[in-house]
Chain A
Amino acid sequence: MKTRAQYKRYTRSKAGNFFYFFFLTLFGLFSVLPIIYTICTSLKPLEEIMIFPPRFFVTRPTFENYAALPKLLATLRVPLSRYVFNSIFVSVATTILHILIASMAAFVLSKLKFKGCTAIFVLVQFALLYNAYTLAIPQYVIFSKLQIIDTYLVYILPYLPSTLGVFLMKQFIDSSVPDALLEAGRIDGAGFFRIYRQVALPIIRPAWLTLALFAFRDLWSMQPQGTIFSEELKMLPTVLSTISAGGIARSGSAMAATVILLIPPVTVYMVTQGSVMETMGSAGIKE
């Protein structure tokens, strides 16, 4: 049996190949510029940050911006560990719950065609388009009616029904979980929930891994406006703002903190996408 790679290898001219990789690499390098700039700046000593003409790269790298962080962080009113806990707790818990809720709803909307499914799904798609800014005021009223302002719930609950997740999951289930598989499960006597858990979820793994990345990235950098007042409930981006507020002399340290804060989302990216790349199509499913 031949592999997919052999089927896919169509011929391309040498020049074509060259431009192919040239284009991809150029675009890739251009895209990664802000991260490189952030890292470079975090390694710059103060006189290099202020230098004229400005330089992109660092000439005399130093770790003094990183070394200054512990002293800066020691002045925080709430211990750093509290912010770290909040960030990790909110991001991880919400991501998991979001994937669960979104994938269950999507599976029902995709496979259990009862009255009203189409209407709900149309609503989901169009709600996604509505401008988020204008919704902030009515949402605030709802938060205060539910009395969730200044609690962890104000981070978690509104994010859970994020329509992007249901939409993404539904589209993946539509395209890669054939109805025949559902029938097979039914014949084997599996209940609807079991088919979802044991058949659908493994097949749409690339989708929920990707969704995990989106959700984690959003939540990790979340800085709610006017819904969290207690310093004890704030997350790491607040610490970053506190450092940045120290003016230009602190800008090196702010960059250092930015680099450190980038590590978790980049790690989540590596883990989830590495795993997505591993999945080689939904092999073995015959229609």
Chain B
Amino acid sequence: MKTKLGINRNSEIRTGMLMLSPFLILFFVFTILPIISSVVLSFTSYDMISTPKFTGIGNYIKMFSRDDMFPKVLRNTLLLAVVTGPISYILAFMLAWMINELNRGMRTVLSFLFYAPALSGNVYLIWQVLFSGDSYGYINNAMLTMGLISEPIQWFKSPQYAMAIVMIVQLWMSMGVSFLANVSGLQNVNPELYEAGCIDGVRNRWIELWYITLPSMKSILLFGAVMQIQSCFSIGTLVTALTGFPSVNYSTDTMVTMLMDVGTSRYEMGYAAALSVFLFAMMAVTRVVVGKLLDSVGNQGGRR
């Protein structure tokens, strides 16, 4: 088949397939196949030693009706996602946008500072030291010295503080992948669009942001949103590092800490798989809703 330009579309497709195949093969073997087995496992009882036993939707019934921990971790997971997800998403964009108008040196330094938590491996350590429950903790120590409290507060062991601290730390850590993607996405916005906007009467940065910058960044914004959904629903290691497992009255435990416990210490891999299928379903629904929301960004005056 030849197109009107005389290009052999079939040969292009052949080249394309060849370029796609390394990814496709590895993706299938190392990601899709494991996901399929995990979904299949969710309908079984599997202790990692004997062969999986098919139990139908038993795991799901157990999850919704017989597990006291599940409603608590579900509540915590949703709470963390709803609070930290949108805030860190907006923050990751706003900070990238704010530093974008600075000169190159300032931009490099500031984006390094923002990205620093993602670079340094031991990020929780500083928070553990700050909020340490004994009087050695910096915050307890300072408050004791100032006479605000008479005895040290067990920050991570008090349900009323633990969740708030987890949220703060998660937000603080959120300048990661989507922040840098935004920084380079802003670099890639065609400058002629700004010039055209200026000629067309854009007289203020907010109008420019809504009608020029955001619409040209749509695909990067979607990337950031998906990464954010992924991270805000998967908060787990952070919680365990700060508040331990299980946390007091499961006050901060999430779906992820629960499924890690179910898999690692209880050896109920089938149940852990069912939990992750449910978690995935929540994320997938969120992804679809967010996709619809992003479609409407800058719609009234978007380019093209």
Interface positions of A (Cβ within 8 A of B):
2, 4, 7-8, 10, 20, 24, 27-35, 37-38, 52-54, 56, 101-102, 104-105, 107-109, 112, 114, 120, 123-131, 133-135, 137-139, 141-142, 146, 157-158, 160-161, 163-164, 166-168, 170-172, 174-176, 183, 186-187, 191-193, 196, 203-204, 206-207, 209-210, 213-214, 217, 221, 258, 261-262, 265-266, 269-270, 273-274, 276-283, 285-287
Q: Please, how many angstroms separate the alpha-carbon atoms of A129 and B38 in the complex?
A: 14
Contacts A38-B122, A175-B217, A192-B16 hold; do A276 and B184 have CB atoms under 8 A apart? Answer: yes
Is the beta-carbon distance between A274 and B122 smaller than 8 angstroms?
no
Q: Is the CB of A130 within 8 A of B276?
A: yes
Instruction: Indicate if the CB atoms of A167 and B280 lie closer than 8 Å.
Output: no
Q: B187–A134 contact, CB under 8 A?
A: no
Report how far A172 CA is from B180 CA in the complex, Å. 13
Residue B79 interfacial (CB < 8 Å) = no
- Asked whether A105 and B219 contact (CB < 8 A) given A34-B117, A127-B35, A163-B27, the answer is no
| A114-B17 Cα distance, complex, nearest whole Å | 10
A-B contact count (CB 8 A): 281
Cross-chain contact A107 with B19 (CB below 8 angstroms) = yes
A28 touches B114 (CB 8 A): yes
With A34-B126, A131-B276 known as contacts, the answer to whether A161 contacts B30 (CB < 8 A) is yes
Within 8 A of A (CB), among B181-236: 181, 183-185, 187-192, 194-195, 198, 203-205, 208, 216-220, 222-223, 226-227, 229-230, 233-234, 236
Cβ-closest 5 pairs across A and B: A28-B113, A206-B184, A105-B23, A138-B34, A161-B26
Question: A-facing mask of B224-265, CB < 8 A → 1, else 0?
Answer: 001101100110100000000000000000001001100100
Does B32 have its Cβ within 8 Å of any Cβ on chain A? yes
Q: Confirm or deny: B164 has a beta carbon within 8 angstroms of a beta carbon on chain A.
A: no
Mark the stretch among B54-62, B82-90, B101-109, B155-163 that contacts chain A. B101-109
- Cβ < 8 Å to A, chain B residues 106-150: 107-123, 125-126, 129, 135-138, 141, 145
Q: Which residue of A lies closest to B127 (CB)?
A: A34
Is the Cβ of B190 less than 8 Å from the Cβ of A104?
A: no
Q: Are B19 and A34 in contact (CB under 8 A)?
A: no
Asked whether any CB of chain A lies closer than 8 Å to the CB of B69, the reply is no
Count B-side interface residues using an 8 Å CB cutoff.
107
Beyond A34-B120, A176-B190, A273-B180, 5 additional pairs, beta carbon < 8 A: A31-B113, A101-B26, A127-B32, A183-B5, A191-B15
* Alpha-carbon gap, A112 to B15, bound state (A): 10
Looking at the assembled complex, report how far the CB atom of A40 sits from the nearest CB atom of chain B, in whole angstroms. Answer: 11
**CB <8 Å contact, B126 and A33:** yes
Pair B138/A56 contact, Cβ less than 8 Å: yes
CB A82 to nearest CB in B, in angstroms, measures: 21
Complex contacts, B126 vs chain A, CB 8 Å: 33-34, 37
- A152: shortest Cβ distance to chain B, in Å? 15
The residues of A that contact B114 with a CB separation of less than 8 Å are: 27-28, 31
Interface presence of B1 (CB below 8 A): no
Contact indicator B187/A167 (Cβ below 8 Å):
no
Asked if residues B263 and A135 are in contact (CB atoms below 8 Å), the reply is no
- Whether the Cβ atoms of B20 and A109 lie closer than 8 Å is yes
Alpha-carbon distance between A191 and B19 when the two chains are bound, in angstroms: 13
- Measured between beta carbons, the chain B residues less than 8 angstroms from A279 are 187-188
Contact in complex: B194, A101 (CB < 8 Å): no
What are 5 A-B pairs with beta-carbon distances under 8 A? A35-B116, A130-B31, A133-B236, A139-B30, A282-B190
Q: A34-B125, A129-B229, A210-B184 are in contact. Are A175 and B98 (CB under 8 A)?
A: no
Q: Is B269 an interface residue (CB 8 A)?
A: yes
Residue of B nearest to A193 (CB): B15
